[in-house]
Chain A
Amino acid sequence: MPELPELNPVIHGKLRLALLSLLVGVEEAEFTWLRSKTGATDGNLGAQLAKLEEAGYVSVKKKFVQRKPQTLYRVTETGRHAFIEYVQALKQMLGGAIGS
């Protein structure tokens, strides 16, 4: 039986997975939009995004729009690649589990 792949622990966290899934579908997203879609608190959201940024999976851009600060997140190529690998591994594991 082929060995099942391991799931990337950085992506496996529920909120981090939700964030990365949201970000792969858009070009870039504001912090407030991510908050409204995930329902997370500011603190938790900031911490999880920082972990994704630390892993090089998302990039952050801060700017001012009409004197209001705006933080924009975008998934990096590394992040996109890691996300695809995670989904493939997940499907493989589920396929293995269903097949067994």
Chain B
Amino acid sequence: MTESNEEMELKDRLSLIETMIAEGRRTTGSWAWSFVFWGMAYYVAIAWTAYNQWPWAWLVTMTSAWVVCWALIKRQQKSQPQRRPGTTMGRAIFSVWTAMGVSLTLLLPALGLSGRFNLHVFVAIVAAMMGFANGASGMIIRWKAQIATAFVWWAATVAACFGSDGQCTVVFLTAIFLCQIVFGVYAMIFESRLRRQEAHHA
């Protein structure tokens, strides 16, 4: 069967629509580094607290990390030749992480000031929030690896409610290593592969 010119033209239009929609949604950002960055920031805060038991070590480390992270994002945006257009999916993920960040920033110092703070509560809250944010992000973008990190965080949330302080610390350190460092490195490799594909398509 030979296709008429008109039919070919219509198929051409349909293919153009599919290509352009995919092109618009292809907005591979560079966020994987932030997982490794925040993982390292948690380790610094834990080491600092263990070293001199200063109660504000976490707040100071996290605030400094926010400032450095913000500066790095701004620098990254400036280095791009043109601004990537925002997508609804991107805004959804940004909203989840921002809301989680605000919740932790308010809750943890408030617990500290009210004297209701202890290691188990702290690890359980942080792990639950991280599980929530990673789970929501993973489900939005349908990325199984990120959903898997959510399960690790949720397991850490439950584990933190039991056992000794030492066991709780080990659970937290392990969750950070798996979900921030290992996942962050994996995501960086994944992003660079996607960017190579983008360059190939362009």
Contacts and interface: CB of A to CB of B under 8 A. Distances in A.
B81 to A, nearest CB: 8
Interface string B1-12: 000101100110
Interface residues of B, number: 25
A22 B82 contact: no
A54 interface: no
A26 B16 contact: no
A29 B83 CA distance: 8
A97 interface: yes
B17 to A, nearest CB: 5
Contacts of A91: 14
B24 A22 contact: yes
A18 B22 CA distance: 11
Interface string B75-111: 0000000111111100100000000000000000000
A37 interface: yes
A98 B23 CA distance: 28
A33 B83 contact: yes
A41 interface: no
B193 interface: no
Given A14-B16, A23-B24, A24-B24, A93 B82 contact: no
Contacts of A23: 24
B25 interface: yes
Contact of A33 (B14, B25, B85): B85
B141 to A, nearest CB: 15
Given A22-B23, A90-B13, A97 B7 contact: yes
A32 interface: yes
B82 A32 contact: yes
A29 to B, nearest CB: 4
A91 B13 CA distance: 10
Given A32-B82, A36-B82, A25 B24 contact: yes
B10 A21 contact: no
Contact of B91 (A14, A27, A30, A36): A27
Given A18-B16, A22-B24, A25-B24, A33 B87 contact: no
A60 to B, nearest CB: 14
A94 interface: yes
B20 to A, nearest CB: 3
Contact of B10 (A14, A22, A24, A93): A93
A12 B22 CA distance: 19
A97 B85 contact: no
Interface in A13-55: 14, 17-18, 21-30, 32-33, 36-37
Given A24-B24, A27-B86, A91-B14, 10 more contacts: A14-B13, A22-B21, A25-B20, A26-B86, A30-B83, A33-B83, A33-B84, A37-B23, A90-B10, A97-B10
Nearest 10 pairs of A and B residues by beta carbon: A25-B24, A21-B20, A26-B85, A29-B85, A22-B24, A27-B86, A21-B17, A25-B25, A97-B7, A25-B21
